[in-house]
């Protein structure tokens, strides 16, 4: 597969007996999934394409109905799969905007030049998004807000932050 895939979430369970899958989305505000769209399910190193017939929110999770999955027995094997879409299907962004997945793997450095770690994932929660930064001996949760994230250097693959006192000690 030559296209780059963007992970959107993980199938956590089935829903009902008609083949619906419950997706825990990485970004609860996502608008990247819509009916009649090709998506990819990856589990155990195998990635398979599917056609999304319907998507609807239900209790802070997204319910998915895929073509050809019409019952609970057909849906159950997909629990634990990561749902992705092709990068080129994402909406174009305006100047200065970026998708959070684009900073995964970036080095995180504070304004004094201290290396804190690498962005390993984004954690979305009701209080706001947090970058999970994994360092040599510690993991940091950095709020994804402009008051803390001073600069994202896409060419250099790094994020420069100005943490408030005490944030890095948490």
What is the rounded distance in angstroms from the CA atom of residue 37 to the CA atom of residue 26? 19
| CATH architecture for segment(s) 100-161 | Roll (2.30)
More confident call, 98 vs 146: 146
Rounded to whole angstroms, the Cα distance separating 23 from 14 reads: 9
| pLDDT tens-digit series, residues 18-54 | 999 999 888 777 788 989 999 999 999 999 999 999 9
Lowest-confidence pick of 26-30, 89-93, 161-165: 26-30
Residue 159 has pLDDT above 60, yes or no: yes
Sequence ranges of the domains in the chain: 5-89, 100-161
3-state SS record for 130-155: EEEEECCCCEEEEECCCCCEEEEECC
Q: Quote the DSSP letter at residue 90.
A: S
* Dist CA 90 CA 3 (whole Å): 13
CATH number for the region 5-89 comes to 2.40.30.60
In angstroms, the Cα distances linking 22 to 26, 92, 117 are 13, 27, 32
**pLDDT tens digits along 92-132:** 888 888 888 899 999 999 999 999 999 998 887 778 889 99
């Amino acid at each position: 597969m030559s296209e780059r895939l963007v992970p959107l979430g993980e199938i956590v369970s089935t829903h009902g007996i008609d083949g619906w899958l419950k997706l825990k989305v990485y970004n609860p505000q996502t608008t990247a999934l819509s009916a009649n769209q090709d998506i990819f399910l990856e589990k155990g190193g195998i990635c398979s394409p599917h056609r999304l017939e319907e998507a609807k929110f239900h209790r802070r999770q997204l319910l998915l109905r895929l073509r050809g999955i019409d019952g609970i027995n057909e849906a159950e094997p997909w629990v634990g799969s990561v749902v992705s879409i092709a990068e080129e299907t994402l909406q174009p962004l305006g100047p200065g905007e970026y998708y959070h997945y684009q900073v995964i793997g970036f080095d995180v450095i504070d304004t004094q030049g201290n290396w804190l770690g690498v962005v390993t994932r984004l954690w979305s929660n009701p209080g706001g998004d947090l970058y999970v930064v994994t360092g040599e001996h510690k993991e940091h949760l950095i709020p994804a807000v402009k008051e803390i994230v001073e600069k994202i250097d896409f060419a250099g693959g790094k994020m420069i932050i100005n943490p408030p006192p005490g944030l890095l000690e948490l």
